[in-house]
Amino acid sequence: MNVSEAIRTKRAVRQFTDQPIPDDALQAILKAGQHAQSSKNVQPWRFVVVRERDTLVRLSQCGTYAGHLAGAAMGIALIMQPGYEFDIGQAAAYMQLAAWELGIGSCLATIYEPDKAKAILGVPDAWDFKYALSFGYPQPRPASATKRKTQRLPLTELVHWEHW
Ligand SMILES: Cc1cc2nc3c(=O)[nH]c(=O)nc-3n(C[C@H](O)[C@H](O)[C@H](O)COP(=O)(O)O)c2cc1C
């Protein structure tokens, strides 16, 4: 799969099979995050890999829409220096695309209760924990189940040329 195909076909995956993620795939995902771009190359992130079911379930209870973490083969907590939300998004996207290339689905989870989530993982006070990623092999779903929601706005609506 080339980069443009990965970008075009990647969808949020929230339901996963029980198949564990092999170590080489995990390394590829982590390296993609490691190589992401960041402002002034500060690399304002740390990644906490979570595979213990109990911890995933507890994290899934830290956000209204974080439930998919409970059934993930693996979660990665995206820990960031305060104020670097754009940067952590870059690392997340790189990791998600690297996973997709390997047939591994993923989805972001917004952490609405950061203090509770930080306590679960023992994250130091100086760091923020606002997002986590679920990863796993996708549970097969009929294409019709996701079609409407996955549509993107047309370029004619998104793009302005030379001036707004
Ligand atoms: C900043 C951000 C936060 C998100 N938070 C959640 C979340 O809390 N729960 C969730 O299920 N999906 C979350 N998502 C995933 C989006 O819902 C998903 O990317 C979007 O609906 C497009 O999905 P698609 O690529 O399958 O079309 C988040 C995505 C982003 C970029």
SS3 of 33, please?
A: helix
User: Where in the sequence is the domain holding 21, given as residue range(s)?
Assistant: 13-137
- Amino acid 132 reads A
* DSSP β-ladder status, 128-136 and 105-110: antiparallel
How far apart, in Å, are the Cα atoms of 45 and each of 41, 83, 106, 154? 11, 11, 19, 33
Q: How many domains does the chain have?
A: 1
Query: Is residue 107 included in any domain, yes or no?
Result: yes
pLDDT digits (tens, 9 = 90+) for 85-112: 999 999 999 999 999 999 999 999 999 9
Residue of minimum CA distance from atom 25 in ligand 1: 11
Whether 85 is covered by a domain: the verdict is: yes
Looking at the domain assignment, is residue 153 inside a domain?
A: no
The verdict on residue 77 lying in a domain is yes
Torsion of CA 126, 121, 62, 38, to 10 degrees: 50
Q: Nearest CA to 49 among 75, 20, 81, 79? A: 75
CATH of the domain at 32: 3.40.109.10
131 lies in some domain: yes
162 alpha carbon to ligand 1 midpoint, in Å?
A: 30
Q: Whose CA is nearest to atom 29 of ligand 1?
A: 108
Average pLDDT over residues 52-62: 98
pLDDT at 78 over 70: yes
For residue 151, the ligand 1 atom closest to its alpha carbon is: 27
Judged against a pLDDT cut of 70, whether residue 30 lies above it is answered with yes
Using CB distances shorter than 6 Å, the residues near ligand 1 are: 11-12, 14, 63, 65-66, 68, 107-110, 150
* Model confidence at 36: pLDDT above 90: yes
> Can you give the pLDDT at residue 149?
66
Does 152 map to a domain?
Answer: no
Q: 62 C-alpha vs ligand 1 centroid, how far in Å? A: 16
Q: In sequence order, what DSSP letters do the residues of 56-95 get, joined into one string?
A: HHHHHTTSTT-GGGGG-SEEEEEEE-TT-HHHHHHHHHHH
Q: Do 69 and 52 form a contact (C-beta atoms < 8 A)?
A: no
Give a yes or no: residue 143 inside a domain. Answer: no
- For residue 148, being part of any structural domain is answered with no
What is the per-residue pLDDT across 13-23, written as a single tens digit (0 to 9) for each?
A: 999 999 999 99
Residue with the smallest CA separation from ligand 1 atom 30 is 108
Question: What pLDDT, in 10s, does the model give residues 116-161?
Answer: 999 999 999 999 999 999 999 999 877 666 565 679 999 999 999 9
Secondary element (H or E) of residue 49: strand 45-50
